[in-house]
Structure 1
Amino acid sequence: MKKTLLFLSIVALCCQNTFAQKETTVISIKNTENTPTINKNIYGHFAEHLGRCIYGGFFVGDTSKIPNTAGVRNDIIAALKDLKIPNLRWPGGCFADTYHWKDGIGPKENRPTIVNKWWGGVTEDNSFGTHDFLNMCELLGAEPYLSGNVGSGTVQELSDWVQYTNFSGKSPMSDLRKKNGRTEPWKVKYWGIGNEAWGCGGNMTAEYYAGEYRKFATFISDWENTGGITRIASGSNSADYNWTEVLMKNIPLNMLGGVGVHHYAVINWNKKGDGVNYTEEQYFKTMKSALKMEELVTKHSAIMDKYDPQKKVAMIVDEWGGWYEVVNGTNPGFLYQQNTMRDAVLAGSTLNIFNNHADRVRMANLAQCVNVLQAVILTDKTKMILTPTYHIMKMYSVHQDAKLLPVSFQSPLYTVNGETLPAISASASKDKNGAVHISLVNVDAKNNNKIELDVNELGIKNVTGTIITSAKLQDYNSFETPNKIVPTVFKDFANKKGKLEINIPPFSVIMLEGK
């Protein structure tokens, strides 16, 4: 009798598991025109004077044997153009509030040096400055986003920088720009008024910073340019909702183009875990931190809605990404880390959140572009590789400036040690040519997930797919195997009478295109 009961128990358990595997998540996508456009600037990037992001990354100097244009690597320019990079934030980060822009103009041999107190205590020779950065942005076809020095700078200094970069008439700063070889202004639109004013930007209170912002913003208006410039306030540290409340309450809306938010996916700030050799539990904790972005954006948006119901002020998540321990043997102040399938899943899920909140989130900047944190590009002397995150950003570029299509579904759960997370992340859009793009992420590290989509309502018949996945969650592209993780054709779906049935492998990101 006991053997019979044991057999029946095993059969019941197997049946239960089979049933669980066959459960299908039904995703509804509304084909409506009354939706916001997904601003291309959500897909922005960040380049700080930190480690090998600028020197040894973007910038190798015009005497380098590595092919370059005015010292900037041609292979990086080509890769970022292929990524359709919409904007690039510079020079920081914490570095911004120690940076004095006049140190980085004029003949390079005459430029003073400073010590980069935030990142490794290295000597900064200022050989990469305003002209180098803004000319590079022109090569990229990207909008520059300059982060101004409020912490150790002056109102006059920042006002002069705006005049130097933007004014076409005769003035002291435009004359200086012309003397330094640039006749026409660059017309920089996006200006950050300080960075992390609550921390490395001055350890200010929200009330004090709001006053400083008003003062600085008053003197950096640009009346010559159509539409003026977009002034962006140094935003909150993750869930500091009081910071957003104080800024929205105390700064007039006509002085405020955007309010920042910074949030990194980190296991524990004191013990961040390895970038490659991590357990499933560590992966789960990283994704739990990353998916908190949904709550952060929702709650910060609710505060902004109280003071700005018409949503004129943009939320700008100008620092986001995964943060782990540095690669063994590298300078801890350089923040050089590898980039695995965990980062691909993190990027895809985060971008879905931004897309779905396109009514308020109108710019974001992945930290950082080259050789730092969740980089899209890694270099080693002459070599350059594209990371899994690069491939996600490129795959998702189809959403840039497309109309958001609202998605609704009840996600299955991903469970580790009794804790749960939503296993499925999704967003959708329709581009100007009528093509529909649906991005799907399976966060679950072990289990496939089945999804059903009604494509009849979307008016599409032909569907193709692309997937980014790998054999192991910890896989990454190395300089020895640079193409271990690349996009491939995805075919594990079937269209049955207008119902698209999709099977998503564990830790994978999929883009479907329908026409």
Structure 2
Amino acid sequence: MKRQLISLICVGAIWGSAYGQNMVTLTPSEKPIPISRHIYGHFAEHLGRCVYDGFYVGEGNKNIPHTNGVRNDVIAALKELQIPNLRWPGGCFADTYHWKDGIGPKASRPAIVNNWWGGVTEDNSFGTHDFLDMCELLGTEPYLAGNVGSGEVQELADWVQYVNFAGNSPMSDLRRENGRDKPWNVKFWGVGNESWGCGGNMTAEYYSDIYRKYSTFMADWSNTGGLYRIASGANSADYHWTETLMKQLPKSLVKGIALHHYAVIDWNKKGSSITYTDEQYFKTMKSAWFMNELVEKHSAIMDKYDAKKDVALVVDEWGGWYEVEPNTNPGFLYQQNTMRDAMIAGMTLNIFNNHADRVKMANLAQTINVLQAVILTKEEKMIKTPTFHVLEMYKVHHDANLIPLRISSQDFVWNGEAIPAVSASASQDKNGRTHISLVNIDPKSSQDVTVALSKAQKLQSARLLTSANLRDYNDFDAGDRIVPKAFKGAKVDKQQLTAKLPPFSVLVVTLD
């Protein structure tokens, strides 16, 4: 609802949204800003059923088609998304993981108790070779999270040598003994994870020194531009953490600084992933929209020390977080995925796209069976969630040039609080096509949107994701009730696009 109409809202908990135009104006820039495909990255932690029983079912499985133990249906689905990178093995698990436990003959690998996530015992049958070979199957770049919490400097330095060094050395020779001649040339490396919390409960000042030490001994031999080292960054609105790292870390040792933020109603009472109330929906959207403020404020701090934007803001954990599904292990973080999650995904990716000058990498948490997953599995069955379909629709933005825009949105109002109902981002690909993604998070009201184009264009396609009910989801029995469909409600007349966005919907339009 427009700000001047707020006085018309009745007292109490009422949905509100103005009936009128939402205006988007595309303002092409003379200096191209690419939307890095790495913004569309994913995350596979040793957590619950993400790796074991998600990606990996074992080489001996006779019931589920697989390649070297990795599910073929998962490989096909992630190839459809064209995932650019995959983060592993954590998360909190990373700072307890010792990579040498996961190499060599599987029968002789030591077991480990996953104290962070469920207290289960893992047999280390999925280790470095398994993960990096899987990334080759997927056609994606691996992003390894190094252990600086319980691990030593030499351990991380050895891991880099093991996976990246082509010559003769103790670690590369060990790699060859384990069946891999050529190195994988891993580019992306996280130097610890959540060092302010599960990664060691460090202060920003202490971690800065630790980072400098560990990253110094991470040598690279590939002559391809060096390692892309990513520092463990802030927890949500901890701006002191970002300021300290930007002051203390030399640019020669850091390519990215991480940021973690989840859309959470209340960390002590997260609410159901399916039977949420209208109020809980609004609070989730408000928490998701807070990502825009976080990106802008952390970016402003980084700008003070890095005006050329050489250091990326890497949002390598984001997504919705709710209570686990009933009768599942609380430590496995298994939750369903409804149209609410599609709204989080569409809004958040619009935010990242619009800040592509600083946000150059991000990782949705997590890929399979954990938190805001794109895939859920149950024995031989697999489903694609609404979040999957948003990522698939948005892949048109991969490595396309950002088209900056101005937006004037109606408000989505709950009980006197307001956030924008409509978000948008736009890009131009290498073939000159324009792609515009529009999201209406209002669960009750349609939104009329007018987009002022910079030149006359023709409508090539329009795809819409929505459903009959906000709480709808794809499940193993009903199949894919939520999938993108061709949309007839978008029109282009010379230099103007108009569309009527249904409630809780994501629309991607392509113009030529």
The bucket for the TM-score relative to the shorter chain is over 0.9
Q: Which residue pairs with 2:103 in the alignment?
A: 105
Q: Which residue pairs with 2:366 in the alignment?
A: 368
Matches within 5 A, 1:215-294: 215-294=213-292
| Structure 2 counterpart of 1:177, one-letter code | R
Which digits, 9 at most, give the CA deviation of each residue in 1:389-412, with x for residues without a partner?
A: 000000000000000001102111
Q: Which residue pairs with 2:127 in the alignment?
A: 129
Task: Check whether the contact 2:102–2:126 (CA below 8 A) recurs between aligned residues.
Answer: yes
Provide the rounded CA distance (Å) in 1 between the counterparts of 2:272 and 2:214: 41
Task: Check whether the contact 1:31–1:458 (CA below 8 A) recurs between aligned residues.
Answer: no
User: Residue 497 of structure 1: CA displacement?
Assistant: 4.7
Q: Is 2:318 aligned against 1:336?
A: no
Q: Which residue pairs with 2:320 in the alignment?
A: 322
User: Residue 254 of structure 1: CA displacement?
Assistant: 1.1
- Three-state SS of the structure 2 residue aligned to 1:333 is helix
User: Residue 200 of structure 1: CA displacement?
Assistant: 0.3
Which digits, 9 at most, give the CA deviation of each residue in 1:300-348, with x for residues without a partner?
A: 0011111111100011000000000000000000000000000001100
Which digits, 9 at most, give the CA deviation of each residue in 1:261-286, with x for residues without a partner?
A: 00000000000000000111100000
Task: Check whether the contact 1:147–1:193 (CA below 8 A) recurs between aligned residues.
Answer: yes
Q: Which residue pairs with 2:492 in the alignment?
A: 495
Provide the rounded CA distance (Å) in 1 between the counterparts of 2:328 and 2:301: 41
Task: Check whether the contact 2:456–2:495 (CA below 8 A) recurs between aligned residues.
Answer: no
Which digits, 9 at most, give the CA deviation of each residue in 1:83-141, with x for residues without a partner?
A: 00000000000000000000000000000011000000000110000000000000001
Q: Which has the larger radius of gyration?
A: 1
Provide the rounded CA distance (Å) in 1 between the counterparts of 2:162 and 2:52: 24
- Three-state SS of the structure 1 residue aligned to 2:174 is helix
Q: Is 2:29 aligned against 1:32?
A: yes
Task: Check whether the contact 1:260–1:317 (CA below 8 A) recurs between aligned residues.
Answer: yes
Which digits, 9 at most, give the CA deviation of each residue in 1:166-201, with x for residues without a partner?
A: 000000000000000000000000000000000000
- Three-state SS of the structure 1 residue aligned to 2:408 is coil
Q: Is 2:376 aligned against 1:378?
A: yes
Which digits, 9 at most, give the CA deviation of each residue in 1:54-81, with x for residues without a partner?
A: 0000000011121111100011001000
Which digits, 9 at most, give the CA deviation of each residue in 1:11-34, with x for residues without a partner?
A: x99xxxxxx865111210023341
Provide the rounded CA distance (Å) in 2 between the counterparts of 1:33 and 1:469: 35
Q: Is 2:298 aligned against 1:300?
A: yes
Matches within 5 A, 1:354-365: 354-365=352-363
Q: Which runs of 5+ in 1 are unaligned?
A: 1-11, 14-19
| Structure 2 counterpart of 1:144, one-letter code | P
Task: Check whether the contact 2:279–2:414 (CA below 8 A) recurs between aligned residues.
Answer: yes
Q: Is 2:168 aligned against 1:170?
A: yes
Q: Is 2:55 aligned against 1:70?
A: no
Distance 1:190 1:433, change over 3 A: same
Q: Is 2:430 aligned against 1:432?
A: yes
User: Residue 481 of structure 1: CA displacement?
Assistant: 1.5
Q: Which residue pairs with 1:23 in the alignment?
A: 20
- Three-state SS of the structure 1 residue aligned to 2:95 is helix
Larger RCO (CA within 8 A; separation ≥ 6): 2
Provide the rounded CA distance (Å) in 2 between the counterparts of 1:171 and 1:509: 52
Q: Which residue pairs with 1:469 in the alignment?
A: 466
| Structure 1 counterpart of 2:82, one-letter code | K
Q: Is 2:45 aligned against 1:55?
A: no
When structure 1 is superposed on structure 2, of 102-111 and 487-496 the one drifting more is: 487-496
Provide the rounded CA distance (Å) in 2 between the counterparts of 1:499 and 1:382: 47
- Three-state SS of the structure 2 residue aligned to 1:211 is helix
Q: Which residue pairs with 1:179 in the alignment?
A: 177
- Three-state SS of the structure 1 residue aligned to 2:100 is helix
Provide the rounded CA distance (Å) in 1 between the counterparts of 2:29 and 2:292: 23
Provide the rounded CA distance (Å) in 1 between the counterparts of 2:279 and 2:121: 39
- Three-state SS of the structure 1 residue aligned to 2:332 is coil
User: Residue 225 of structure 1: CA displacement?
Assistant: 2.9
Residue of structure 1 aligned with 2:40, choices 32, 43, 57: 43
- The RMSD of aligned alpha carbons is 1.2
Q: Which residue pairs with 1:416 in the alignment?
A: 414
| Structure 2 counterpart of 1:59, one-letter code | Y
| Structure 1 counterpart of 2:280, one-letter code | Q
Q: Which runs of 5+ in 2 are unaligned?
A: 1-7, 10-16
Residue of structure 1 aligned with 2:113, choices 112, 115, 136: 115
Task: Check whether the contact 1:462–1:514 (CA below 8 A) recurs between aligned residues.
Answer: yes
User: Residue 226 of structure 1: CA displacement?
Assistant: 1.6
Provide the rounded CA distance (Å) in 2 between the counterparts of 1:22 and 1:124: 55
| Structure 1 counterpart of 2:503, one-letter code | P
Provide the rounded CA distance (Å) in 1 between the counterparts of 2:461 and 2:169: 56
Residue of structure 2 aligned with 1:79, choices 60, 77, 80: 77
Q: Which residue pairs with 2:14 in the alignment?
A: none
| Structure 2 counterpart of 1:23, one-letter code | G
TM-score (norm 2): 0.96
Provide the rounded CA distance (Å) in 2 between the counterparts of 1:93 and 1:498: 46
| Structure 2 counterpart of 1:151, one-letter code | G
Task: Check whether the contact 1:43–1:363 (CA below 8 A) recurs between aligned residues.
Answer: yes
When structure 1 is superposed on structure 2, of 498-507 and 62-71 the one drifting more is: 498-507
Task: Check whether the contact 1:21–1:448 (CA below 8 A) recurs between aligned residues.
Answer: no
- Three-state SS of the structure 1 residue aligned to 2:449 is strand
| Structure 2 counterpart of 1:227, one-letter code | G
When structure 1 is superposed on structure 2, of 457-466 and 206-215 the one drifting more is: 457-466
- Percent pairwise identity: 65
Distance 1:22 1:240, change over 3 A: closer
- Three-state SS of the structure 1 residue aligned to 2:330 is coil
User: Residue 223 of structure 1: CA displacement?
Assistant: 3.6
Task: Check whether the contact 2:281–2:340 (CA below 8 A) recurs between aligned residues.
Answer: yes
Provide the rounded CA distance (Å) in 1 between the counterparts of 2:30 and 2:376: 40
Q: Which residue pairs with 2:398 in the alignment?
A: 400
| Structure 1 counterpart of 2:158, one-letter code | D
Q: Which residue pairs with 2:3 in the alignment?
A: none
TM-score (norm 1): 0.95
User: Residue 463 of structure 1: CA displacement?
Assistant: 3.9
Task: Check whether the contact 1:53–1:371 (CA below 8 A) recurs between aligned residues.
Answer: yes
Which digits, 9 at most, give the CA deviation of each residue in 1:227-254, with x for residues without a partner?
A: 0111100000000000000001011111
Q: Which residue pairs with 2:152 in the alignment?
A: 154
Provide the rounded CA distance (Å) in 2 between the counterparts of 1:359 and 1:106: 42
Q: Which residue pairs with 1:194 in the alignment?
A: 192
Task: Check whether the contact 2:490–2:497 (CA below 8 A) recurs between aligned residues.
Answer: yes
